[in-house]
Structure 1
């Protein structure tokens, strides 16, 4: 693995045009602290994808001191070409339109979200850098390149047009893009789907069956499914290939689901729709949908014990090869025997990592793309030559990270006080240890899947500083079955909070944690849980770190909350009263579980950080909380990043924030704490 790491660093140096990332010096031994920048710099490789013919590899490459670029590697000749790179904007995302052409978007990653309206538009370019065309207009003075003089202004799409993020037919110059339908109030009402010619700018609008928020292409790259939400009800629309007409397959509650609910996952080459559904089980399994009966076939194809099925199909030349799925970590289930055999060969070559394979979509090719990662190894990409069995490093997300200096992570389960089993992830410092200072790292959402096994900047940074890190998947977290999800309804600050505290006590009982050195921290809902943890369990937690956290549930209803989507108002009206609490019927509960209302009970040291441009949890959540807590608690640190939104997008702010976290934890539970 060390040889692989050095090779990845060398390739990254080529892509960075001479700008090589800082690496540990000889004095930076395994016992010292790796620089914060190694954890929180932008990744040097953010994404890679094989061309449809499998001959070329495209990647977004970044490096300190220069903007992110779009590079294409000829896997046969090993020649590399930067096909899109600018001094004033970064390449943000890309898709292969065909074997010879790419669609990409740009953004200014050196501007915080307060400048998010300065969009750079969509562009297309040939894989050799020729025929660059602008396809969507710029908004504001973004400084994005203006190209394509033959393209008339009236043909440019609006600045908010975006890529679909799905693999289309990849056999022509046409690609599908999304165009939000912006209402008179400036909010998104739905999402239109356009078929766009990436050379001429010509578009064709796909008929929309209602207020669609998600489109799904079939295996041939044609629009086949559309999910629309209205008045708290989601309808799944199917476009019949025989007549091109839409019809409703199912409808169900957008937030609580129901017997008819299923999750569309993708199409096979024969038009089969693969879905995730509970169908009498607590956890969701993989099924097929029967268009003749209009129902989900009851016999599951894949059941993931203890986890809801969460996967995407992998196809090649019109054949379904298998699924890449998530349980405790990502893995692949191969229906195709050749892919199963290939997986074994790659795993034998890379025994220390989890290895995910990608294949060319439209032709037989000698190359397979491998994404390798582990709990200690950030994602790296390699090209595997099927005939020779040779692996060639392509690039790594964070090549300066030394896996030998990272901690080990393991999935764990513990019992909450009412007997419910709570999954979690435990990361220990390099070398392990007992009686360690413990950080409870609480995920946001809260009704989402938290972290999965693998290298994570936040948990590994904390572990590198000597802390044990526990990330509990408290009740309400998704991915672990229907009962676990429903058990979290209306439990903000109550049973959900108990699950987190019970995790801390479990870590103490197992000998991992020192009971007198425990801190709780998190962002968004995790920030809320941090505050309520300090309120409810003052004897358990020595300190807390809350960034961009909700400080009062009623503020979510009063207009100080935005989902930046068409579901914002519907969520408040139909989702929140059921999942979080009704502002009238549950008024007493919401007051009792409001950190602002309970601010006088927060007596422990507290670090607060908020973004001045946050639309999800506006800074009023932070300022009102700060003012309420500091009336009785002087051990409060406050930081505002004026240009940031719901989290830290700029590397310098990530480095600054985690430097503050490091010093804060050192003082209160770490190396400088009074014991």
Structure 2
């Protein structure tokens, strides 16, 4: 749930239950199928501080770790990138405690160990991402949260450093205080033809003044040249991948106030011109208008998403002054919502959407054939992503995943047709005999069929067993097929897990999204409770051991389900939940997005009726709450209020609060504790 800093926070790495749309799997020790165009060769085994072989980690997990520690462990790789010449790899991994480490390894050297380039303390800064700007130098974002005048703020900086750890350089000369953050800017163009330079959005743009501008920055010397002077209401810029800024977006204020209206006006610059012309107006609060994502310099057009027949579609608009529009790809069942891009120019090569499983539609015939061949090589029900490439695109960094394997990175060489396994994403769970997650649908009370994913524990009949309904966060989100550490943990402990994409979820078009999961809470929560009833009617769930677990909006849904159907669920676990809609509105007052939040939540009887904290007396099931006190998405006051209201009504409640942790509670020790405490709490 992203409320306080609506447009800014939603772009931050919150590490929630699913950090990425794509599922991840592994094909280690699995032979390639006959007739394929590539061969899988032995992988590169990486040994270093905190980075050991997957086999060694799995063995250690089996001998020394509890299930909660195994599944609660944070991913072994947070971010990964390939050097321009394709010979070096850089990746971010968890270090001791809260620390994060940046490693680099030379792939051209046999048995080469990764070298730690630098480390972030985690108190408060973390390494967020790193990318090669030359074959010897990296540019990274460092960010975190800290308290300032009684409020929690996100902060970030962009830094450059050589792969041997030398010549560190701060590129964020200023930090812009805006929208609940102290941001040090971002990189919008890696300028692959200009050795060591980047195009960077920076506070002041290097030319002074307030707001965001654009500068070309030499990452070795720190010298810069202003490309776009700052303007206070500018939110974003889009380059064409060749160093030319072609699109900018400016927020539209609410009347004469400084509040955000929920709308952005986009401008484009015709090729060869210095003048800006109006492109579109995006009303992101009401899900209308054209949202530009990428400029195609060859076609002199911009790709973006806009609703067509009630569903998001990929559209291209000409930047030649005509603004002629072409529908590139639309789907008649679901939203088309993600671009597929590759290379250091971020070339657009396709689009993706999610049915039962995420699908890709490639515009590049070579990549389309390669994706098909790779999926075949790795076996059925596998998904692959092209993560990065060398500058000439002959070497590809690939990630593969599925529901029963947390995933691995590979290096594919187009010229030799060889694919080398590199790093596992979650090596601790690789040998845990994971359970399959299968798409199902069930009828809601009004007869509407609700899509969902059902994960049953391995080795049993899946009948009359403990079960969990686990609604997703958002509410503007959806669950997708793939590895889910929460679902897999509970399945490993003998629970059936049901993940409904209730009405109010995104991805299925405007009609399914309805009024959103707060204003339309009766429909959304009704669909969630009907998932529990279906588990019982199918004989899957033991009625006396049916529980509900949720994170963020999912936590809200768990609590409100206990209000709507107090006899259905026998236990409620809510992690970082919204609990009171009036508090949610009041918290936003004084923030730039207060008007957007006000409209999103709405007004009327649903404010009280749809707030579990205001209806705590109706809850019969015991409640277990978890929350971090640095949560910018859902203020910790929400859980504190829920605990207080439950105690006032003599209800059973346990509450655990974690200092200096944000919405995703991204700490292996804390996540393991949450899993173990919830396991001890849920009826068996």
Shift of the 249–25 alpha-carbon distance from structure 1 to 2, 3 Å rule, reads closer
Q: CA deviation at 1:634?
A: 4.0
| Structure 1 length-normalised TM | 0.82
CA distance in 2, matches of 1:313, 1:99: 24
- Identify the match of residue 124 of structure 1 among 160, 178, 183: 160
What whole-Å deviation, never above 9, does each CA across 1:2-33 have from its counterpart, x for those lacking one? 5379x99983434636798974559959xx99
- Counterparts of 1:350-389 in structure 2, within 5 Å, are 350-352=378-380, 353-358=382-387, 360=389, 362-365=391-394, 367-389=395-417
What secondary structure, in the 3-state scheme, does the structure 1 residue paired with 2:512 have? helix
Q: CA deviation at 1:548?
A: 1.7
Shift of the 528–347 alpha-carbon distance from structure 1 to 2, 3 Å rule, reads closer
CA distance in 2, matches of 1:368, 1:127: 20
Shift of the 605–419 alpha-carbon distance from structure 1 to 2, 3 Å rule, reads same
Q: CA deviation at 1:382?
A: 0.8
What secondary structure, in the 3-state scheme, does the structure 1 residue paired with 2:582 have? helix
Task: Give the corresponding residue for 2:601.
Answer: 580
Shift of the 361–313 alpha-carbon distance from structure 1 to 2, 3 Å rule, reads farther
Task: Give the corresponding residue for 2:220.
Answer: 199
Shift of the 222–467 alpha-carbon distance from structure 1 to 2, 3 Å rule, reads farther
Task: Give the corresponding residue for 1:248.
Answer: 278
**8 Å contact 1:38–1:398 — kept in the other structure?**
no
CA distance in 2, matches of 1:492, 1:22: 49
- Identify the match of residue 292 of structure 2 among 232, 241, 264: 264
Q: CA deviation at 1:92?
A: 2.9
Shift of the 27–523 alpha-carbon distance from structure 1 to 2, 3 Å rule, reads closer
**8 Å contact 1:603–1:632 — kept in the other structure?**
no
Task: Give the corresponding residue for 1:408.
Answer: 436
CA distance in 1, matches of 2:224, 2:432: 52
Q: CA deviation at 1:450?
A: 2.4
Shift of the 377–523 alpha-carbon distance from structure 1 to 2, 3 Å rule, reads same
- Identify the match of residue 70 of structure 1 among 95, 99, 102: 102
Unaligned runs of 5+ in 1: 140-157, 183-188, 563-567, 671-675
Task: Give the corresponding residue for 2:680.
Answer: 663
**Comparing 72-81 and 195-204, the one that deviates more:** 72-81
**RMSD in angstroms over aligned alpha carbons?**
3.6
**Comparing 406-415 and 371-380, the one that deviates more:** 406-415
Q: CA deviation at 1:83?
A: 5.6
CA distance in 2, matches of 1:65, 1:12: 21
CA distance in 2, matches of 1:105, 1:315: 20
What whole-Å deviation, never above 9, does each CA across 1:625-663 have from its counterpart, x for those lacking one? 212211333421121113223231222111112211111
What secondary structure, in the 3-state scheme, does the structure 1 residue paired with 2:428 have? coil
**8 Å contact 1:547–1:608 — kept in the other structure?**
yes
CA distance in 2, matches of 1:318, 1:612: 39
What secondary structure, in the 3-state scheme, does the structure 2 residue paired with 1:273 have? strand
Task: Give the corresponding residue for 1:527.
Answer: 555
- Identify the match of residue 176 of structure 1 among 185, 189, 199: 199
**8 Å contact 1:288–1:297 — kept in the other structure?**
yes
Do structure 1's residue 93 and structure 2's residue 125 form an aligned pair? no
CA distance in 1, matches of 2:55, 2:154: 29
What secondary structure, in the 3-state scheme, does the structure 1 residue paired with 2:561 have? helix
- Identify the match of residue 16 of structure 1 among 40, 45, 50: 50
Q: CA deviation at 1:127?
A: 3.8
- Higher RCO by CA contacts (8 Å cutoff, separation 6 or greater): 2
What whole-Å deviation, never above 9, does each CA across 1:363-417 have from its counterpart, x for those lacking one? 253x222101110111310112223322211111111212561111123333322
CA distance in 2, matches of 1:573, 1:133: 40
Task: Give the corresponding residue for 1:218.
Answer: 240
What whole-Å deviation, never above 9, does each CA across 1:478-515 have from its counterpart, x for those lacking one? 11111112343653531111111122223333343233
What secondary structure, in the 3-state scheme, does the structure 1 residue paired with 2:373 have? helix
**8 Å contact 1:606–1:637 — kept in the other structure?**
yes
What secondary structure, in the 3-state scheme, does the structure 1 residue paired with 2:607 have? helix
CA distance in 2, matches of 1:332, 1:610: 36
CA distance in 2, matches of 1:190, 1:210: 4
Do structure 1's residue 45 and structure 2's residue 45 form an aligned pair? no
Task: Give the corresponding residue for 1:151.
Answer: none
**Comparing 83-92 and 329-338, the one that deviates more:** 83-92
**8 Å contact 1:442–1:521 — kept in the other structure?**
yes
More strand by share: 2
Pairs aligned (count): 622
**8 Å contact 1:380–1:395 — kept in the other structure?**
yes
CA distance in 2, matches of 1:202, 1:212: 24
| Structure 2 length-normalised TM | 0.81
**8 Å contact 2:189–2:345 — kept in the other structure?**
no
CA distance in 2, matches of 1:637, 1:38: 24
Shift of the 550–294 alpha-carbon distance from structure 1 to 2, 3 Å rule, reads farther
Task: Give the corresponding residue for 2:35.
Answer: none
Do structure 1's residue 239 and structure 2's residue 269 form an aligned pair? yes
- Counterparts of 1:221-620 in structure 2, within 5 Å, are 221-230=243-252, 231=254, 232=261, 233-258=263-288, 261-270=289-298, 271-279=300-308, 281-292=309-320, 295=323, 297-298=325-326, 300-316=327-343, 322-328=349-355, 329-352=357-380, 353-358=382-387, 360=389, 362-365=391-394, 367-402=395-430, 405-431=433-459, 433-446=462-475, 448-488=476-516, 491-559=519-587, 561=588, 569=591, 571-577=593-599, 579-582=600-603, 586=604, 588-620=605-637
**8 Å contact 2:250–2:266 — kept in the other structure?**
yes
**8 Å contact 2:312–2:336 — kept in the other structure?**
yes
